[in-house]
Amino acid sequence: MERREIDGYGKTNPIMTKPGNVQGIRMEGGKSAAEVGNNRRALREIKNFTGAPPPYPCAISKRGLPEKPAIDERNHQHFVGHRPITRKFAASLVNKHHHSHQDSNQGNELVVDNEKHKKAIPSIQMLNPKENFTVIDVDDYMEANELPAFVKQTEAILEEMEQLQDKYDIEVEMEDIVPEPMLDIDSCDSNNPLAVIDYVKDIYTFYRQAEASSCVSPNYMSHQSDINEKMRAILIDWLIEVHYKFELMDETLFLTVNLIDRFLERQTVVRKKLQLVGVTAMLLACKYEEVSVPVVEDLILISDKAYTRDEVLEMEKLVINTLQFNMSVPTPYVFMRRFLKATQYHDKKLELLSFFMIELCLIEYEMLKFQPSLLAAAAIYTAQCTLRGFRHWTKTSECYTSYKEDQLLECSRLMVDFHQRAAVGKLTGVHRKYSTFKFGFVAKVEPARFLSDAHFP
């Protein structure tokens, strides 16, 4: 049996030799080429060029040109990358080669990166080796200071996107700012009967109408011949300490100060009786607000027995008749509770600091020119600015207080001044009270000086 040697697959070919030094190619059914029969033609030498691309490259450019085909001289079969050239495929190759002369951009093709391994495919030879067609890679473009067509298109798209983004940013800046949503501060108390949410708006509408009747003239001291505003400040500073020692309710303190001012506006009092007026006003406020009322003897003892029981009772009659038994007046306290709820700021420190601000105002005679609701709103506003470090007043607070930020600035500036000098001088009762653990040491918080430095109309 004649055995023909298969060229290109023997031991002498280092490119195609496998690790086992296979002597021949195994055909169907595990038989060798010699065992198949004499009727099978031997293959001629297949042109394998050193440095040619692998049989199955990882990525092929759709626009890349095919390698030079190898032609079997006997069978006249064309192979390009181990693919037989059919008539249709050969026509497409000739057509591509023809268009490469017409389009200068088609002459320079990029080597596509391997998608998995990111390795460039080696340069592929053109159909006609006589013509000088080369494949330019990325490095060639860099040396020529040119960019590939698809890179230029990408940069144009990115530039257009940036222009659109800039236009969009300008449109966003020019759009109207979305108004801050108004919050319903009573919705959380729908199941709380003590909150009386069905009537709370009507109640505070009545308070706003009635607060004018609870206010006094800001210069009523001009009608007093034996007392002045400094004596009033000393009396109220002392009453704040008495109120704290007896652990009375906050409502009692604010009503006590209101009763004193309204009585002094209508009655002339000598200096010796001023402390008696203060003790009696606290007794009446306790009877109106407290569940457990201090007895008269306790108040006499706290005043160092300066007055007798009969004097306290006589003054009680005079005060109640002068005020015509009008004890139900809206004080800053009732507005404080409502306005604090409107802040939606669930922090005990804000509440304590707000009360610290407004108790400082109780001592100051010049603060009588502000209505109770304005004092409460300004105290909360000042406390918020103090804790945050910047001016802060929400639309919800503005709605429920009926005060804009500009309306609060003057009163807030005075509160900041009171805060700065609360620890100096003789009237330091409020500062000592709010410098304790019970009140969160809020008196030691740094004042909001940026409010006092602002310019007001």
* Element spanning 71, H or E: strand 70-71
Backbone angles phi, psi at 389, to 5 degrees: 90, 5
Mean pLDDT over all residues of the chain? 75
Share of residues in the chain with pLDDT > 70 (%): 61
CA neighbor of 282 nearest in space, from 234, 310, 246: 246
Beta bridge partners of 78: 71
Check whether 423 has a pLDDT greater than 60.
yes
Please give the pLDDT value at position 102: 52
pTM: 0.61
Per-residue confidence (pLDDT) for residue 221, from 0 to 100: 93
pLDDT in tens, 94-141: 566 555 555 544 444 444 444 444 444 444 444 444 444 444 455 555
The better pLDDT of the pair 249, 452 is held by 249
User: Contact, 227 vs 221, CB < 8 A?
Assistant: yes
Q: Which structure tokens are listed for 305?
A: 């027995």
The winner for highest mean pLDDT among 12-16, 32-36, 89-93, 343-347 is: 343-347
Extents of the domains making up the chain: 1-43, 193-452
pLDDT of residue 43: 47
Question: How many other C-beta atoms can be found within 10 angstroms of the C-beta atom of residue 212?
Answer: 10
Written as one string, the DSSP assignment of 87-127 is: HHHHHHHHHHHHHHHH-GGGGS-PPPBPTTT--BPPP---S
- Token pair of 456, please? 């007001």
pLDDT (0 to 100) of residue 84 = 54
Using DSSP, state whether 204 is helix, strand or coil: helix
136 in Cβ contact with 108 (< 8 Å): yes
- 397 near 327, Cβ under 8 Å? no
Query: What is the dihedral angle through the alpha carbons of 209, 213, 218, 223, rounded to the nearest 10 degrees?
Result: 170
How many CB atoms are located within 10 Å of the residue 217 CB?
12
Three-class secondary structure of residue 79 per DSSP: strand
CA–CA distance, 10 with 28 (Å, rounded to integer): 19
Read off the pLDDT of each residue in 380-402 and give the average, rounded to a whole number.
89
Would the pLDDT of 370 be above 70? yes
pLDDT at 94: 56
Calpha distance 274→18 (Å, rounded) = 118
Across 208-222, average pLDDT: 90
Q: What is d(CA 446, CA 418) in angstroms, rounded to the nearest whole number? A: 12
CB 105 within 8 Å of CB 114: no
Angle at 251 (CA atoms; ends 249, 252), nearest 5 degrees: 70
Q: Which two tokens stand for residue 178?
A: 């979305």
CB 331, CB 252: distance < 8 Å: no
Q: What percent of the chain has pLDDT over 90?
A: 43
Which residues are bridge partners to 113 per DSSP? 120
What's the CATH number of domain 193-452, 2.40.160.40, 3.40.50.300, 3.40.50.12140, 1.10.472.10?
Answer: 1.10.472.10
Residue with tokens 């800001």: 218
Q: Where are the beta strands (DSSP E) in 298-454?
A: none
Residue type present at position 112: V
Decide if 381 contacts 405 (C-beta within 8 A).
yes
The label of the residue with tokens 């005679």 reads 365
Banded model confidence at residue 72, pLDDT cuts 50, 70, 90: very low
What's at 176, amino acid-wise? Answer: D
**Confidence band, pLDDT 50/70/90 cuts, at residue 180:** low
